[in-house]
């Protein structure tokens, strides 16, 4: 069983670094591969920019699992550090923990649905 996760991230940064962050977001998977995972298997979806000003970005990081969305948020922080982005403030908040059921063949036979 898994929990779909969505994390809202707000970044206040130096306006000259907005382009750097845009490049990180646009190339999110390749940036993680190159700087963090170094060829190991991982799964990451590119963050969605929901608000963009000259010195403030708001993003949504979504994943099929809450833990993976949290990991992607940590990767974003590390990439901002690697690229020396001047961050004034960074906030993240889990905003969508929606339950869904994911069962393999063995688990399906034993699963007891809650019908209350």
Residue 55's CATH number:
3.30.70.100
* Percent share of the chain, pLDDT over 70: 89
Spatial contact of 2 and 103, defined as CB atoms under 8 Å apart: no
* Domain assignment of residue 102, yes or no: yes
* Domain assignment of residue 69, yes or no: yes
* Domain assignment of residue 39, yes or no: yes
Residue 24: how many other CB atoms lie within 10 Å = 22
Once rounded to an integer, what is the mean pLDDT over residues 35-57? 91
CA distance 40 to 34: 10
CA distance 103 to 14: 45
Q: 11 is in which domain, residue-wise? A: 2-110
Residue labelled with tokens 């209350």: 116
With bands split at pLDDT 50, 70 and 90, how would you rate the model's confidence at 37?
very high
Specify the number of domains making up the chain. Answer: 1
What six digits make up the tokens of 89? 């403030």
* Domain assignment of residue 50, yes or no: yes
* Domain assignment of residue 57, yes or no: yes
* Domain assignment of residue 62, yes or no: yes
Three-state SS across 31-66?
HHHHHHHCCCCCCCCCCEEEEECCCEEEEEEEECCH
The string of pLDDT tens digits covering residues 61-90 is: 988 888 898 999 999 999 999 999 999 999
* Domain assignment of residue 22, yes or no: yes
* Domain assignment of residue 115, yes or no: no
């Amino acid at each position: 069983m898994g929990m779909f996760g969505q994390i809202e991230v707000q970044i206040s940064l130096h306006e000259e670094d907005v382009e750097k962050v845009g490049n990180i977001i646009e190339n999110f998977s390749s940036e993680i591969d190159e700087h963090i995972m170094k060829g190991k298997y991982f799964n990451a979806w590119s963050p969605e920019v929901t608000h963009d000003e000259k010195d403030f970005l708001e993003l949504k990081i979504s994943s099929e699992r809450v833990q993976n969305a949290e990991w992607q948020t940590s990767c974003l922080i590390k990439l901002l550090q690697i690229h020396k982005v001047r961050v004034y403030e960074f906030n993240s908040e889990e905003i969508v923990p929606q339950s869904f059921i994911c069962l393999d063949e063995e688990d399906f036979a034993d699963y007891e649905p809650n019908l209350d």
